[in-house]
Amino acid sequence: MNYRKLGKTGLMVSEIGLGGEWLERHNTKECREVIEQCEKEGINILDCWMSEPNVRSNIGAAIRGKRDRWIIQGHLGSTWQDGQYVRTREMPKVKEAFEDLLERLGTDYVDFGMIHYVDQETELDEIVSGPFYAYVRELKEKGVLRHIGMSTHNPNVAKKAVELGIVEMILFSINPAFDLLPPTEDLNQYFAEEYDAQLGGIAPERAELYKLCEQKEVGITVMKGFAGGRLFNPQASPFGVALTPVQCIHYALTRPAVASIMTGVETKEQVLEAVSYETASEEEKNYAAVLAGAPRHAYHGQCTYCGHCKPCSMEIDIAMVNKLYDLAVMQPQVPSSVKAHYQALEKTAADCIGCGECEARCPFQVPIVERMEKTWELLD
């Protein structure tokens, strides 16, 4: 495993990190197996944005007695309310959720206190000038947070946070498709079809962000590196060609200021697949040759299973329903295993009432209600 310095924090993090969200659907034993495999392969950084209590407890149990070998990104503003994930800035709930995170992870500090999911500049302004950031600063002064970070999908928000000097690192969504897209706070415009003709290279705002972070020594860790797995399939890929996990990892790690990519894994085999990057040949890493011959460049309205669509008033696991639908339509016939997983869900697309609240929260403007209708027709 290779290690990189994460900005001016001086912390050396593994190039391949652990994004813990898919552990949410696994038990204590299975989580332990994945985390132990990560340790064996030299992975030393993990991101825990999830608010679901069991996954926090399972991660805590897996790292018990080995806390010092892990660099943890723990999020503030990701809460668990009435059995569902809710992103909030309500301070009593923010504080309760963060204290729960520490308790369940079995630690009295996190290495990076992440200001969770900020995609609008006005929201960033409110956070910085209000009680939220004051609480973050207080935690850092007490040593509960060793460093301050932030997660965002918007390069303009990331750039502003860096210029204000309020963060030491950014968790940012990077992959070849996202990098083509111009930034905006109106995410409908962000993925509008009329941008297609202009998507001939990396958006200048994103290139500027990476260079600014490099200049200011603000480290970047990467989320959404695989675009929810869509880049692996030529029919689903916005480029019309498939990339490999190794190529996507290499793309992310070749951006300026990037230190680590948080790969979402849920099995030991997936850990091994991710760390195979470290022994891959230059030919295996070469994403440029694939993209140079791609028939098209477009990316909009496609689910990356991030979970920000929650909470659902009907308590549907929207991200999982979307994932299973995508897996189903990639095959000529619906695999029996996919249908079995779908039918085992407590709530399915048949329970959707079409309220559209999830669409308002979706970072990528996915037509979720329409997809729920298609899933209901296909799988219920």
Region of poorest pLDDT, from 70-84, 216-230, 271-285, 315-329: 315-329
Mean pLDDT throughout 135-161? Answer: 97
User: What value does the mean pLDDT take over residues 161-185?
Assistant: 85
169 and 228 part of one domain: yes
- 3-class DSSP state for residue 371? helix
Q: Are 334 and 200 part of one and the same domain?
A: no
Q: Is 306 inside a domain boundary?
A: no
The percent of residues in the chain predicted with pLDDT above 90, rounded, is 65
pLDDT band at 282 (very low <50, low <70, confident <90, very high): confident
Q: Report the alpha-carbon distance of residue 346 to residue 263 in Å, rounded.
A: 27
pLDDT at 127 over 90: yes
Q: Are residues 340 and 206 part of one domain?
A: no
Q: Is residue 326 part of a domain?
A: yes
Nearest to 232 by CA among 293, 309, 153, 287: 287
Domain count, the chain: 2
- For residues 240 and 356, state if they share a domain: no
Asked if the structure places residue 237 within a domain, the reply is yes
Statement: residue 342 has pLDDT above 50: yes
Q: Is residue 57 part of a domain?
A: yes
**Residue 178 shares a structural domain with residue 134:** yes
Task: Characterize 144-158 residue by residue with b for buried, 16 or more Cβ atoms within 10 angstroms of its Cβ, and e for exposed.
Answer: bbbbbbbbbbbbbbb
Looking at the fold, whether 286 and 322 belong to one and the same domain comes out as no
Query: C-alpha angle 261/266/270, rounded to 5°?
Result: 65
Domain of 237 in residue numbering reads as 3-292
Q: Is the pLDDT of residue 231 over 80?
A: yes
Lowest mean pLDDT among 2-6, 20-24, 50-54, 177-181: 177-181
DSSP-derived secondary structure letter, 311: P
**Percent of the chain beyond pLDDT 70?**
89
- Whether residues 131 and 197 share a domain: the answer is yes
Question: Which of the two residues, 31 and 333, has the higher pLDDT score?
Answer: 31
pLDDT at 194: 35
Query: Are the beta carbons of 178 and 224 closer than 8 angstroms?
Result: yes
Residue 154 maps to a domain: yes
Which residues partner with 84 through β-bridges?
A: 81
Tell me the pLDDT of the chain averaged across its residues: 88
User: How large is the average pLDDT for residues 22-36?
Assistant: 92
103 and 39, same structural domain?
yes
As a residue count, the chain comes to 380
Q: Do 111 and 180 fall within a single domain?
A: yes
191 band by pLDDT with thresholds 50, 70 and 90:
very low
Question: Cα separation of 164 and 156, whole Å?
Answer: 12
pLDDT category of residue 299 using cuts at 50, 70 and 90:
very low
Whether 278 and 348 map to the same domain: the answer is no
CA distance 49 to 302: 21
pLDDT classification of 305: cutoffs 50, 70, 90: low
How confident is the model at residue 182, as a pLDDT? 59
pLDDT at 99: 98
**Which distant-in-sequence residues (6+ apart) come within 8 Å of 67 by Cβ?**
106, 107
Where residue 193 falls among pLDDT bands split at 50, 70, 90?
A: very low
Q: What is the pLDDT of residue 301?
A: 61
Check residue 176 and give its pLDDT: 84
Dihedral in degrees, nearest 10, Cα atoms 283, 291, 259, 270:
-70
Residue at 313 is within a domain: no
* Range picked from 127-141, 263-277, 282-296 for highest mean pLDDT: 127-141
Q: Is the per-residue pLDDT at 298 higher than 80?
A: no
What amino acid is encoded at 239 in this protein? F
